[in-house]
Structure 1
């Protein structure tokens, strides 16, 4: 598990992609534990972040605050809080680890080499950037840097976005298959709506962690092997065409 991180309320809300108003409201309703006070400053931790993500996810699915409070209280009653938070952490932890960066509108024009409204809209729709007023948050800085670097070789950003969107759709299908395997397995083994009881939380957390590792290793390994196969075939085809043209000239 990652090292413990401390957040002030603004940082916590930003990390959970919610608002400070929501954080305070969840505390008032008893859904979110209060922070640790250091003087007059409230300090939140990873347990608050994971709980906040669970709350937001359930609210977005139409559950009321009362339902969520009953659910959390019933689940945690008689269980080790550390185990429960460990399970919440593995379920809500982001798979992507890259930290976003924020630049100005002028800098995004400089980065892209031009300002194209349609292109910016595509970048937003692809969840690569987020625009807020005159600020631009780059959600995947490394990927966008590669896009810009490849422009030097004659690729257009439109071409690279086409490739990214195709890859993203394929990866979404792969992710749905992998996560679906876990949820179907739990439903078959324990029945619909199952939640781990005392003594099962640790085992379930370990299983999810191993499946997470399998998913990442499998996807990376198969992509590498596929690139080897396709690259070798493409190189062979290219060399064959080159030799054929030279023979025709001779």
Structure 2
């Protein structure tokens, strides 16, 4: 399991070390493991930190969140609670962020770099920080660079990703809506898991996420195969038709 010092934890979570200490003082974040004078945090702390930040962004106060967490953990195993938090907050993206000079990124994106940056920022692929560009999905960037070598413009490639993002975002909303409706249908609104239900709910969420990723991947792969075969067939048929007409003209 990854381990973090406080500065590393804050950086990965997108917050500050000062906030981490404040959350600990308010009981929102479990204390780290002490190794000498150094506090060591884990992914369990990272999941809790992301959950707290998410609730704060929704307008809840630290006092409300503290009461909620204390009440939730009452009589429960902390590991199970953090396991559920991890299922909700842990990202499935494995690509490590990369930083490149903003000038290099702008050169690649061309004359309308500003517009393309805005679109990529909107879908969460990049962030602009001073004179640097933070790439949140380096695998995607590598793919775009490779395809650009075949003559596609940056705008065309950004268009593709934005359309894919929009479609997949709709699928994700539908999937999460199905899970939410299922939980409410079984337990009613405002339900929180207790006892063994915590681990069961975390397991269900993880498996549902895996099913969603697998479903999108396999469906897209099949659709690409089918459409590629059809488009290639249409292209070859048109090429053969032109060739036949050309030969007929020569023989005439």
TM-score (norm 1): 0.92
Matched, 1:76 2:73: yes
Matched, 1:209 2:206: yes
Who is 1:224 aligned against?
Answer: 221
Larger radius of gyration: 2
Runs of 4+ in 1 over 4 A off after TM superposition: none
Q: What secondary structure is seen at the aligned counterpart in 1 of 2:196?
A: coil
More divergent stretch after superposition (32-41 vs 14-23): 32-41
Query: Residues 174-195 of structure 1, C-alpha deviation per residue, up to 9 Å, x if partnerless?
Result: 1111111111100000000111
Query: Residues 183-222 of structure 1, C-alpha deviation per residue, up to 9 Å, x if partnerless?
Result: 1100000000111111211211221122122111111111
Post-superposition shift, 1:18? Answer: 1.7
Post-superposition shift, 1:108? Answer: 3.0
Q: What secondary structure is seen at the aligned counterpart in 1 of 2:127?
A: strand
Who is 2:174 aligned against?
Answer: 177
Who is 2:91 aligned against?
Answer: 94
* Structure 2 counterpart of 1:194, from 185, 191, 195: 191
* Structure 1 counterpart of 2:149, from 130, 152, 155: 152
More divergent stretch after superposition (204-213 vs 236-245): 204-213
TM-score (norm 2): 0.92
Post-superposition shift, 1:86? Answer: 1.0
What are structure 1's unaligned runs of at least 5 residues?
none
Who is 2:250 aligned against?
Answer: none
Who is 1:163 aligned against?
Answer: 160
Who is 1:30 aligned against?
Answer: 27
Q: What secondary structure is seen at the aligned counterpart in 1 of 2:21?
A: helix
Matched, 1:11 2:2: no
| Contact kept in structure 1, 2:110 and 2:154, CA below 8 Å | no
Post-superposition shift, 1:106? Answer: 4.3
In structure 1, what is the Cα distance between the partners aligned to 2:49 and 2:110?
39
More divergent stretch after superposition (140-149 vs 35-44): 35-44
Query: Residues 143-185 of structure 1, C-alpha deviation per residue, up to 9 Å, x if partnerless?
Result: 1111111121110010000111001000000111111111110
Alignment: residue pair count: 246
What are structure 2's unaligned runs of at least 5 residues?
248-252
| Contact kept in structure 1, 2:109 and 2:116, CA below 8 Å | no
